[in-house]
C-alpha cells in the first residue's frame, strides 16, 4: 500500500445526518440542494457518537437510503448512501469537481443510483468544506493529509457491513483520477471515464496547488502519481473526441503499460481501455443508459479467452456506434428546436 500512513477507522465517526434520515434518495438530494450549507453552518452534525455510530445505523437499517456527515481532520465529510438490497457489490462514486453555482455537498450522478447493480456510496469532496471557492480537488487532501487511505479504510469497513464481496470505484474527469487512486489503497476495481491523470499537465492544478499549499514538487508528484497495482483491475473509458485528455493523460499512461488504444477494447493483464467516439468531447459521456454496459464490461475484464475478448470488443464497438448516433441525433434536435424558436420570434 502506498505511503506510510496507518489511518484509524474513521468509519465509526460518521454521523447520520438528522435532517435526511429515512428519506428516499431523491428527497435527500432535493433538500440538500435547497440548504446550500456553508462552512460556518455545521450545526447539523450530530455529536452523540454512541447513538449515531455508522456501523450500528447500517445494521439497523442497511436498506434505508440516508445522508451521513462528520467533521474529521478539520474537514467536513459528506456521504450519500443508496443501498441495493441483496447485492454483493459496493460502488464508491467520486465527485471531485463542481461549478461555482453548485450547491454543496456535491454528488455527481446521484440520480443514477437505481442503474447501479449494487450498493452506492457517493462521496462529496471534503476539501470543498475548507475551500468553498475551489472547483476541483481530486480528493488530494492537504499537504499533511492524504485522504485516500482514510477513504479506503472506510469503504472497506462499509463493504464488510453490507456483505459486499466486490468494491468498485467510479468517477469521471477529476473523479476518474480519484477512482484510479482509490484502487491503490483498497482492493477494488476502478472505472475511470475521461480521467485526468497527469495533473502537472492540467491548467487548474496550478490554482489548486497555490490555494492549498502544495508547494513541494516532490509532494505533488507523490500525491498525484497513478500507480497501477497488480492486485486490482482498472477500466479506463475515453472519448476519442476529447483530444486533450486522450493525448495528455490517457494515452501516455496506456503506452507506459504497453497498451496501444484502438476503437473498442484494448488492454492486457489488469489494465483495460475502451475507446469510444461521441459528440461533446470531454463531457460526451453523461448517459445513464450506457451505465449498465460499462458495469458489465468492467465485471468481465480481463477476458478469460480470446473468444471472450472478441465478443466483448464487438459489444463495446456496437455501443460506441449507438452512443455516437444518439449524440448526433440530440445535437440535430437542438439545432432544429433553435431554428423553430428563432422563426417564431
What tens-digit pLDDT sequence spans the chain (345 residues)? 444 455 555 555 555 554 444 445 555 555 444 443 332 222 333 333 333 344 444 454 567 787 778 888 888 888 888 889 899 999 999 988 888 777 778 888 888 888 999 999 999 999 998 998 899 899 999 999 999 988 998 888 888 888 899 999 999 988 999 999 999 999 999 999 999 988 888 889 989 999 998 888 888 888 888 888 888 999 999 988 888 888 888 999 999 999 998 999 999 999 999 998 875 655 655 667 789 999 999 999 988 888 889 999 999 999 888 877 777 777 778 778 888 888 877
Name the CATH superfamily for 10-344: Alpha/Beta hydrolase fold, catalytic domain (3.40.50.1820)
The one-character DSSP state at 119 is E
Distance separating alpha carbons of residues 180 and 232, to the nearest angstrom: 10
Residue with cell 467516439: 277
Residue-wise pLDDT for 170-208, tens only, equals 999 889 999 999 999 999 999 999 999 888 888 899 899
With CA atoms as reference, report the closest residue to 159 among 120, 104, 198.
Answer: 120
With CA atoms as reference, report the closest residue to 208 among 150, 259, 110, 142.
Answer: 142
pLDDT of amino acid 338: 80
In degrees rounded to 5, what are phi and psi of residue 262?
A: -150, 170
- The cell numbers describing 120, all together, are 452506492
Residue-wise pLDDT for 279-301, tens only, equals 565 565 566 778 999 999 999 99
With CA atoms as reference, report the closest residue to 299 among 84, 87, 63.
Answer: 87
The one-character DSSP state at 199 is G
Distance separating alpha carbons of residues 153 and 151, to the nearest angstrom: 6
pLDDT of amino acid 42: 27
- The cell numbers describing 172, all together, are 469521471
H/E element, 60: helix 54-61
Neighbours of 139 (CB within 10 A): 24
Amino acid at each position: 500500500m502506498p505511503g506510510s500512513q496507518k489511518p484509524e477507522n474513521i468509519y465509526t465517526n460518521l454521523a447520520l445526518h438528522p435532517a435526511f434520515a429515512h428519506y428516499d434518495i431523491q428527497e435527500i438530494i432535493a433538500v440538500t440542494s435547497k440548504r446550500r450549507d456553508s462552512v460556518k453552518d455545521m450545526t447539523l452534525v450530530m455529536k452523540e457518537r454512541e447513538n449515531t455510530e455508522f456501523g450500528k445505523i447500517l445494521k439497523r437499517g442497511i436498506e434505508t437510503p440516508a445522508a451521513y456527515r462528520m467533521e474529521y481532520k478539520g474537514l467536513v465529510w459528506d456521504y450519500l448512501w443508496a443501498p441495493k438490497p441483496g447485492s454483493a457489490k459496493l460502488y464508491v462514486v467520486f465527485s471531485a469537481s463542481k461549478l461555482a453555482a453548485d450547491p454543496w455537498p456535491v454528488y455527481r450522478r446521484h440520480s443514477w443510483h437505481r442503474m447501479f447493480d449494487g450498493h452506492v456510496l457517493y462521496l462529496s469532496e471534503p476539501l470543498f468544506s475548507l475551500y468553498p471557492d475551489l472547483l476541483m480537488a481530486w480528493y488530494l487532501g492537504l499537504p499533511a493529509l492524504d485522504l485516500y487511505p482514510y477513504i479506503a479504510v472506510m469503504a472497506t469497513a462499509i463493504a464488510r457491513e453490507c456483505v459486499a464481496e466486490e468494491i468498485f470505484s467510479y468517477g469521471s474527469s477529476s473523479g476518474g483520477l480519484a477512482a484510479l487512486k482509490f484502487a491503490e489503497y483498497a482492493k477494488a476495481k476502478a472505472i475511470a471515464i475521461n480521467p485526468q491523470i497527469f495533473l502537472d499537465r492540467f491548467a487548474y492544478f496550478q490554482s489548486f496547488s497555490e490555494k492549498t499549499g502544495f508547494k513541494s514538487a516532490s509532494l505533488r508528484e507523490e500525491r498525484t502519481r497513478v500507480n497501477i497495482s497488480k492486485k486490482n483491475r482498472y477500466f479506463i473509458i475515453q472519448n476519442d473526441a476529447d483530444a486533450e485528455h486522450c493525448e495528455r493523460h490517457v494515452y501516455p499512461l496506456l503506452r507506459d503499460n504497453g497498451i496501444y488504444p484502438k476503437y473498442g477494447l484494448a488492454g492486457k493483464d489488469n489494465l483495460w481501455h475502451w475507446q469510444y467516439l461521441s459528440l461533446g468531447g470531454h463531457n460526451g459521456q453523461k448517459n445513464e443508459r450506457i451505465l449498465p454496459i460499462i458495469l458489465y464490461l468492467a465485471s468481465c475484464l480481463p477476458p478469460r479467452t480470446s473468444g471472450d475478448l472478441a465478443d466483448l470488443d464487438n459489444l463495446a464497438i456496437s455501443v460506441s456506434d449507438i452512443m455516437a448516433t444518439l449524440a448526433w441525433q440530440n445535437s440535430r434536435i437542438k439545432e432544429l428546436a433553435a431554428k423553430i424558436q428563432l422563426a417564431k420570434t
